[in-house]
């Protein structure tokens, strides 16, 4: 699993036919199917000088189909959890003999004093949840759940 990190944060991270009774997929089903193939999410803010690129097969689909909807969590909740997850992530990056360097390749530069906005915090938080569930990891005291 290759990860490429740019700017602020992280380059994170079933083929089948789903048809309706009439034999054609609904617009929503088609969108979800296309997300399975598109495994790159990019968020950029040139004014603040950061860019997040998440390349993780299945993450885009997971956010659209499984994650809590935008607005479910407050921005302050997301910021607090992200800060805790980032601390644990960065500690694991610095211990490649203990934690797989294939999972924890590069540190995340996340400053709690910067307002990254809701969307950045939402996607980063959901990446951490997706990562923990997918790779059976636990980043901190919270049990990852949806």
Rounded average pLDDT over 67-84: 96
Burial 39-65 (b: 16+ CB within 10 A, else e): eebebeeeeeebbbbbbbebbbbbbee
% of the chain surpassing 90 pLDDT: 46
| Other residues' Cβ atoms within 10 Å of the Cβ of residue 21 | 5
CB atoms within 10 A of CB 10: 27
- Whether the CA torsion 95, 5, 38, 81 is positive or negative: it is positive
Question: CA 116 to CA 48: how far, in whole Å?
Answer: 8
Please state, rounded to an integer, the average pLDDT across all residues of the chain. 78
Residue 70 has pLDDT above 90, yes or no: yes
Predicted confidence (pLDDT) per residue in 15-56, tens digit: 233 333 344 556 666 655 555 556 677 776 666 667 778 888
């Amino acid at each position: 699993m290759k990860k490429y990190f740019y700017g602020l944060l992280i380059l994170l991270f079933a083929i089948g036919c789903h048809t309706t009774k009439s034999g054609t997929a609904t617009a929503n089903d088609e969108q979800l199917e296309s997300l399975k193939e598109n495994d790159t999410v990019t968020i950029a803010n040139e004014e603040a000088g950061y860019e997040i690129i998440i390349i993780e097969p299945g993450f885009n689909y997971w956010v659209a189909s499984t994650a809590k909807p935008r607005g479910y969590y407050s921005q302050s909740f997301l910021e607090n959890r992200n800060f805790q997850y980032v601390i644990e992530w960065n500690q694991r990056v610095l211990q490649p003999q203990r934690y797989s360097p294939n999972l924890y390749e590069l540190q995340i530069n996340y400053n709690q004093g910067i307002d990254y906005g809701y969307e950045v915090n939402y996607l980063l938080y959901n990446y951490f949840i997706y990562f923990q569930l997918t790779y059976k990891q636990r980043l901190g005291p919270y049990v990852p759940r949806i």
